[in-house]
Amino acid sequence: MKQMRSIQIVSAWLLLCISQPVASQLKVKPDGNVGIGTNNPVARLHVHGEGLVDSHTSPWGRAFWTRVHHRDAGSYYLWNSVYGRDVFFVNGRGWLWAMQGAFTGSDSTMMEDVAPIESPLDAVRQLQGIRFRYGKENGGDKTDGYRLGLVAQQVERVVPEAVKIMQDSTKAIAYDDLVPLLVEAVKEQQQQIDALMAFIAYQQEEIGRLKKRRNP
């Protein structure tokens, strides 16, 4: 009897939430759309206000996820009313697009154990850029054309810091981490070029002096 009474109370509360016109309540429309903070939900779940997912999942656990059933379907879009357009999206094939790019925290106050990159030019010379397509099982399509990249297993042997093992045991490259390597490699190469140019200039001066001796 007590359990039945509890069910009746919960049912009455849900009916109250559904029927209340106040925007702060839960609203379920006849078409199945659910609104929180709005009386006119225009999607299956329409939240007006801030949201919080407080997840305590294990490593690689899904705190929040969306299942899409078309390879080009958008799984997440961020629309900005100021610009009147999408400014960020991820689609069903794993493409991520941001209107003004992505940034990585790199403030000096965040860093520990800072050290120079050793032998950067030698490391770059061991890498091989490739043209490739993603396989169909990984969201690829023959109409997509070729991509440019590196092979993670090869990069791992040279710059292991730039490779991450994913939850499915495949390997991914943090291409941003290769930029400092390229910067230092260019600087090292330029030092070699400067040294060669100085040597060539010295040789030319020596040749000039020898010519003067022969033809005083």
pLDDT digits (tens, 9 = 90+) for 26-72: 888 999 999 988 889 998 889 888 888 888 888 777 777 777 777 67
128 in the same domain as 96: no
Residue 128 domain flag:
yes
Q: How many distinct structural domains can be found in the chain?
A: 3
154 in the same domain as 91: no
Q: Strand (E) positions, the chain?
A: 26-28, 34-36, 45-47, 74-80, 85-91, 96-98, 130-132, 147-149, 163-165, 171-173
pLDDT digits (tens, 9 = 90+) for 164-206: 998 889 999 999 999 999 999 999 999 999 999 999 999 999 9
Count CA atoms closer than 13 A to 123's CA, side-chain side.
22
With a threshold of 0.75, does the pTM exceed it?
Answer: no
**Pair of tokens at residue 47:** 């939240």
123 in the same domain as 94: no
126 in the same domain as 76: no
Residue 5 domain flag:
no
Amino acid (1-letter code) at residue 116:
P
Q: SS3 breakdown of the chain: % helix, strand, coil, rounded to 5?
A: 40, 20, 45
Instruction: Kindly report the CATH number assigned to the domain that includes residue 129.
Output: 1.10.10
For 188, the enclosing helix (H) or strand (E) is helix 178-214
Q: How far apart are CA 42 and CA 31, in angstroms?
A: 10
91 in the same domain as 134: no
Owning domain of residue 95: 68-102
CA distances (Å), origin 44, targets 32, 41, 65? 7, 8, 15
The confidence score (pLDDT) of residue 186 equals 98
